DNA sequence: ATGGCTTTGTTCCAAAGA
């Protein structure tokens, strides 16, 4: 089984790249963030033609998430109990025996912004929900754009980023709290090269110089962690013409 | 590198992203 996540920064713009990547990588499930599409505009037919079913919840201009799957998506959920949120940031579904959650965590903008408080509250509510989900689903994967670089080794220049949004201590604590309910960062289950990132600023220099952050993650329950065989970032699409600013993250499992 | 791009929409600028 292969699971993947990718912030596409507009599925309307990136659909050709997504279809090509599905053909190339053949993931069983691909979680998408920042689709920026209202539901009636979601490209259901194009994905069906590639053999993928979709569960999605979107809005104009901002946010929007989706799960694409070769197998049927069951028990789709798009709202988190106890979390009042008009922004479309969560979609969950069951594929085979795996419960898959796709998250687009708020960016936060700056540490002194109201959006930063919203980000921390949002992460707290999602943590409480996921704690319950772990009790209901032994095979749970939580994938998405977390907008948190968990450690300094996930940052190209820790000194330059110190205290900033995406790396600040409260955000890292909120990310750790997600792990504390019983999830593991699949990427860190394995030895990894240094300086692996999943996002690079637009602008010609950032990707070429690997000035990036690792903010897209696949978190897994203990049962899935035991079956996990690899977790990698595929920087290929980031080098394409008119790329998303994020690269896909993939994890493979023995069952 | 603190946006030096990119996307979207009450579009010819501004807001937001990360």
Q: What integer pLDDT is reported at residue A219 of this predicted model?
A: 98
Q: Which of A104, A207, A110, A191 is nearest to A153 (CA)?
A: A191
Q: What integer pLDDT is reported at residue A203 of this predicted model?
A: 83
- What would the pLDDT profile of A240-251 be if each residue is shown by its tens digit? 999 999 999 999
CA distance A89 to A64: 6
Measured in degrees and rounded to the nearest 5, phi and psi for residue A15 equal -55, -45
Q: What integer pLDDT is reported at residue A243 of this predicted model?
A: 96
Q: Show the CA angle centred on residue A206, arms to residues A248 and A65, nearest 5°.
A: 30
Q: Does any strand B atom come closer than 7 Å to the Cβ of A205?
A: yes
Q: What integer pLDDT is reported at residue A54 of this predicted model?
A: 98
Residue nearest to nucleotide B1 (CA to C1'): A206
Q: What integer pLDDT is reported at residue A204 of this predicted model?
A: 72
Q: Does any strand B atom come closer than 7 Å to the Cβ of A118?
A: no
| Average pLDDT for A61-88 | 96
Q: Which nucleotide is nearest to A149 (CA to C1')?
A: B18
Under the banding of pLDDT at 50, 70 and 90, the label for residue A87 is: very high
**Predicted confidence (pLDDT) at residue A23 exceeds the cutoff of 80:** yes
C1' of B15 to CA of A201 (Å): 17
C1' of B7 to CA of A96 (Å): 35
Under the banding of pLDDT at 50, 70 and 90, the label for residue A19 is: very high
Q: What is the pTM of this model?
A: 0.97
* Catalytic residue set of A: 104, 145
Q: Show the CA angle centred on residue A84, arms to residues A78 and A86, nearest 5°.
A: 65
C1' of B15 to CA of A114 (Å): 16
Protein-contacted bases of chain B (C-beta within 7 A)? 1-10, 16-18
- What would the pLDDT profile of A146-179 be if each residue is shown by its tens digit? 999 999 999 999 999 999 999 999 999 999 999 9
Q: Does any strand B atom come closer than 7 Å to the Cβ of A166?
A: yes
- What is the percent of chain A with per-residue pLDDT over 90, rounded to a whole number? 98
- What is the percent of chain A with per-residue pLDDT over 70, rounded to a whole number? 100
How much is the CA Rg of chain A, to the nearest whole Å?
A: 17
Q: Which nucleotide is nearest to A206 (CA to C1')?
A: B1
Q: For residue A162, what are the contacts with CB-CB under 8 A and spacing of at least 6?
A: none
CA distance A182 to A166: 22
CA distance A33 to A199: 13
| Average pLDDT for A73-96 | 96
**Predicted confidence (pLDDT) at residue A228 exceeds the cutoff of 90:** yes
Q: How many CA atoms lie within 13 A of A144 on its CB side?
A: 27
Q: Which of A169, A150, A133, A140 is nearest to A215 (CA)?
A: A150
Q: Does any strand B atom come closer than 7 Å to the Cβ of A215?
A: yes
Q: Does any strand B atom come closer than 7 Å to the Cβ of A211?
A: yes
**Predicted confidence (pLDDT) at residue A27 exceeds the cutoff of 80:** yes
- Which long-range contacts does A234-242 make (Cβ < 8 Å, 24+ apart)? A234/A21, A234/A25, A235/A207, A237/A6, A237/A17, A237/A21, A238/A200, A238/A207, A239/A207, A240/A17, A242/A13
Q: Which nucleotide is nearest to A156 (CA to C1')?
A: B1
């Amino acid at each position: 089984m292969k699971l993947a996540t990718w912030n596409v920064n507009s599925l309307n713009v990136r659909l050709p790249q997504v279809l090509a990547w599905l053909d190339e990588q053949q993931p069983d499930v691909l979680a998408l963030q920042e689709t920026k599409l209202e539901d009636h505009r979601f490209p259901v037919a194009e994905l069906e033609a590639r053999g993928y079913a979709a569960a999605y919840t979107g809005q104009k201009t901002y946010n929007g998430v989706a799960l694409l799957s070769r197998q049927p998506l069951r028990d789709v959920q798009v709202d988190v109990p106890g979390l009042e949120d008009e922004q479309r940031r969560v979609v969950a579904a069951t594929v085979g025996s795996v419960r898959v959650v796709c998250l687009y965590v708020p960016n936060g903008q700056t540490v002194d912004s109201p959006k930063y408080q919203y980000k921390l509250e949002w992460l707290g509510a999602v943590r409480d929900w996921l704690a319950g989900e772990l009790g209901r689903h032994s095979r749970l994967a939580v994938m998405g754009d977390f907008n948190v670089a968990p450690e300094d080794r996930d940052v190209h220049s820790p000194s330059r980023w110190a205290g900033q949004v995406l790396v600040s201590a409260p955000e890292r604590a909120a990310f750790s709290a997600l792990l504390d309910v019983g999830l593991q960062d699949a990427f860190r289950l394995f030895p990894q090269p240094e300086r692996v990132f999943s996002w690079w600023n637009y602008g010609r220099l950032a990707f070429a110089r690997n000035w990036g952050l690792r903010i897209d993650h696949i978190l897994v329950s203990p049962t899935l962690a035991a079956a996990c065989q690899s977790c990698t970032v595929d920087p290929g699409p980031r080098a394409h013409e008119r790329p998303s600013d994020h690269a896909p993250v993939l994890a493979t499992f023995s069952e």
